[in-house]
Structure 1
Amino acid sequence: MPPPPPFTVEQWMDKYETTAKYNIAETCCASISIDELASLCENKQTKASDIIDLSAIQHYGDIRGSTALRSNLSRLYSTKVGTPLAEDNILIQPGAIASNFVVFYALLKPGDHVVCHYPTYQQLYSVPASLGAEVDLWRSKPENAWLPDFEELKALVRDNTKLIVLNNPQNPTGQILPKALLHKIIDFAESKDIIVMSDEVYRPLFHGITPMNKDFPPSILSLGYKNTIATGSMSKAYSLAGIRVGWLASRNKDLVEKCASARDYTTISVSQLDQQIAAFALSPDTLHGLLGRNIQLAKTNLELLERFVIKHDEYCSWTKPVAGTTAFIKFERDGKPIDAKAFCEALQEKTGVMVLPGDYGFGEEWKGYVRVGFVNRTEIVKEGLEEVRKFMRKEYDDLPLAE
């Protein structure tokens, strides 16, 4: 297996995030300490020292994941569905990135065909290609609020299509695949016996749509088709990237077992201490406080970003995000896209503000686009956008246009 091509998003983040003064490229909800996590628990007597069992022996623990953590995840995936998801149908992993990888590693072989929702996190199409699969991109359409065309998906599928890969909510656009479209995808995939994997790492951070809305997207595991796989993590919606806990889940136990067998070559187990923190965060006493904090943070900061876009609408255009932590904004001058990489480099050099160029991180067709992560701490977003505003006034006209 040859290595995949350079992972440009991660290389950009690695290069710039430690030196940024205002990181508004961050894709996690503002990270919290264990003390802060304890304060979000409904039991106000809880202290950080109560979260971790310091007397526990630090052996490998439960290889597939702790009972407490998988029980809490099972409860979340079983809400409002007729058939609960068994704990044994969940594998704990060191992050969603490891979960995605093991799904591809376990299920794909050279000559298989994959269709991937796009634009999206590069791993979701580069890793399948590196394993010898042929990959077609199912493109979201910016002119249609980033909705992809279902008929185009049907046209992309072949006799050897093994996997359809979704990202819902979508990175980098902050948009969703609505419920009706998900049902169409599932019905079509089931008719062809195609596995559907959905990277749901930004779920359940919905700030512009509620469960009462007919378009509100359920988890892929809630749609009645057993050959579905969901991946997620504690990093994005749950503010705990540093504990490196993620998971994969499926209603098809055979798929779980295939992933578990492949996982033996990549992961023995995940830290017991990290899983204790994750289990506490997802417990009924803590989950609502944590998610409530993050959804309110997203709403507050998105208002700031929307004001910026409106103020600069001569240069900026977007579809306002409804979920997740990222927005994909197109910057133009005289009707032509700017050189986004030059823009982002100059912005960080002159102001300390970090954002990410869309064509560099997500594909050359996204010239002029910049991904902004707007759910960092409000003061960082507010001060960062003020620095971008001053940059726009003084420096923007001198930036090169995209070639």
Structure 2
Amino acid sequence: MVRIAKFSVEAWMDKYERNCKYNIAETCCASVSIDQLRELSEVKGREIFQTSTALTYGAIRGSDVLRDNLSRLYSARSGKALPRDNIITTNGAIQANYLVAYTLLGPGDHVICHYPTYQSLYEIPKQLGAEVSLWKATPENNWNPSIGELKTLIKPNTKMIIINNPHNPTGAVLGKTFLQQVIEVASERNIIIHSDEVYRPIFHGITPMNAEFPPSIVSMGYDRVIATGSMSKAYSLAGIRVGWIASRDSNIIEEIAEARHYTLISVSMLDEQVAAFALDPSTIHSLLARNIALAKMNIDILEKFVLKNDDACDWVKPVAGTTAFVRFHRDGKPVDSVDFCEKLLEKTGVMFVPGSECFGEEYKGYVRIGYVNHTEGVKEGLDKATQFVRRNLDDVKLAE
């Protein structure tokens, strides 16, 4: 029997997100409705659902229209187009990430995983019997890990390097030069690189004009790469549960497609139609402009919160994505982040995620804040959190 560890961040969200007034733990850009999505389109009268089409299993590997739109995104900054057949759809990125591990990893394999990160990226390989080494990022290095350390972690049986870019929970970005160095290390031993790019392309602190702006991993000239993504975070459509897997290596895609038969037949036709509409050239630019503007506005609000409370918290300001990792302390000593989050929720209705519970016990005092929600709610929630810090921080336990 597979031994399944508690999925701490999802357990926390499941326990508290329906009971809070200000959900500043949510990691999606503020969600949109079908009606709002239609309003964002340049072609208001274009159909989203083809209601005359019979609801069969649909296209087994994903609709051609959706995969063509994804192919266009991955090919935009690359000298080599990514064919539609090198993309398959899934039920969200969480299934995409699971399928990558389920297909390619098992006993005898060694995996190196960027850390801290979303727990399933390193926990699923462990459950499948692989050995996992954590490649730790540090705030002193702007939440980037070290290439030198990566080299020391490589073993003869290293099969995969897993990265998360943009990074959850810190909002850091692995830049272009850094990614090239990872590829150089991996290519020496034909190691697969799996990049969870679910927060791409919400870049608000770096622009495409910057020399270090990171391309997708599939656009960097190395074939043994896998990118996973979804409609949930950057595209505000978590409710349709559409994700995908893309790779330059057709053999990898074929292996995953075979394994995928055991976990799903196809993704909902209706969900894929909504995703295709959102990623169509007539809609995607307005949708992303809305979300990046929201991220820029709200990161300024969060920065003011951190500055206002700089005697009690510190951070490395995020560059991309929707999350920030903020450390709270009292007289320089980290607070118990679980006690902090529970008392904050009880006193104010504001929900954060405790870092020590959900991202590793070494992250004492850290909380993850999701700030790309509706601006008014973020502002009100952070004002309430400031009141809590001023009035109640002394009541919070210190980390042991």
RMSD of aligned alpha carbons = 0.7
Corresponding residue for residue 14 of structure 1: 14
Whether the aligned pair in 1 keeps the contact of 2:77 and 2:215 (CA below 8 Å) is no
Corresponding residue for residue 56 of structure 2: 59
Shift of residue 350 of structure 1? 1.2
Q: Distance in 1 between matches of 2:185 and 2:362?
A: 28
Shift of residue 215 of structure 1? 1.4
Shift of residue 397 of structure 1? 1.3
Spell out, residue by residue over 1:324-377, the C-alpha distance to the aligned partner (whole angstroms, 9 max, x if none).
000000001111100000010011111110000001000001000000000010
TM normalised by structure 2 equals 0.99
Q: Distance in 1 between matches of 2:390 and 2:88?
A: 50
Corresponding residue for residue 26 of structure 1: 26
Q: Distance in 1 between matches of 2:314 and 2:347?
A: 23
Q: Distance in 1 between matches of 2:49 and 2:96?
A: 24
Shift of residue 158 of structure 1? 0.3
Corresponding residue for residue 321 of structure 1: 318
Q: Which runs of 5+ in 2 are unaligned?
A: none
Corresponding residue for residue 4 of structure 2: 4
User: Amino acid of the residue matched to residue 232 of structure 1?
Assistant: G
Shift of residue 54 of structure 1? 1.2
Corresponding residue for residue 231 of structure 2: 234
Q: Distance in 2 between matches of 1:156 and 1:362?
A: 21
Shift of residue 44 of structure 1? 3.7
Corresponding residue for residue 107 of structure 1: 104
Corresponding residue for residue 38 of structure 1: 38
Shift of residue 136 of structure 1? 0.2
Spell out, residue by residue over 1:237-271, the C-alpha distance to the aligned partner (whole angstroms, 9 max, x if none).
00000000000000100000110011000011110
Corresponding residue for residue 135 of structure 2: 138
Whether the aligned pair in 1 keeps the contact of 2:298 and 2:372 (CA below 8 Å) is yes
Secondary structure of 1:238's aligned partner = coil
Shift of residue 4 of structure 1? 2.5
2:184 maps to 1:191: no
- 2:122 aligned to 121, 125, 148, which one? 125
Corresponding residue for residue 170 of structure 1: 167
Corresponding residue for residue 359 of structure 1: 356
Corresponding residue for residue 337 of structure 2: 340
Corresponding residue for residue 74 of structure 2: 77
Report the number of matched residues: 400
Corresponding residue for residue 277 of structure 2: 280
Whether the aligned pair in 1 keeps the contact of 2:106 and 2:128 (CA below 8 Å) is yes
User: Amino acid of the residue matched to residue 323 of structure 2?
Assistant: T
- 2:88 aligned to 72, 78, 91, which one? 91
Secondary structure of 2:137's aligned partner = strand
Flag as ranges the 4+ runs of structure 1 deviating above 4 A.
none
Q: Distance in 1 between matches of 2:55 and 2:44?
A: 28
2:379 maps to 1:382: yes
User: Amino acid of the residue matched to residue 169 of structure 2?
Assistant: P
Corresponding residue for residue 263 of structure 1: 260
Shift of residue 20 of structure 1? 1.0
Q: Distance in 2 between matches of 1:158 and 1:44?
A: 55
Q: Distance in 1 between matches of 2:84 and 2:121?
A: 26
Shift of residue 3 of structure 1? 3.5
Shift of residue 216 of structure 1? 0.7
Corresponding residue for residue 391 of structure 1: 388
Whether the aligned pair in 1 keeps the contact of 2:32 and 2:236 (CA below 8 Å) is yes
Secondary structure of 1:169's aligned partner = coil
Spell out, residue by residue over 1:196-225, the C-alpha distance to the aligned partner (whole angstroms, 9 max, x if none).
000000000000100111111100001101
User: Amino acid of the residue matched to residue 108 of structure 1?
Assistant: L
Whether the aligned pair in 1 keeps the contact of 2:113 and 2:161 (CA below 8 Å) is yes
Shift of residue 80 of structure 1? 2.2
Spell out, residue by residue over 1:301-331, the C-alpha distance to the aligned partner (whole angstroms, 9 max, x if none).
1111000000110111101001000000000
Q: Distance in 1 between matches of 2:107 and 2:43?
A: 52
2:371 maps to 1:371: no
Q: Which runs of 5+ in 1 are unaligned?
A: none
User: Amino acid of the residue matched to residue 303 of structure 2?
Assistant: E
Shift of residue 45 of structure 1? 4.0
Q: Distance in 2 between matches of 1:81 and 1:367?
A: 41
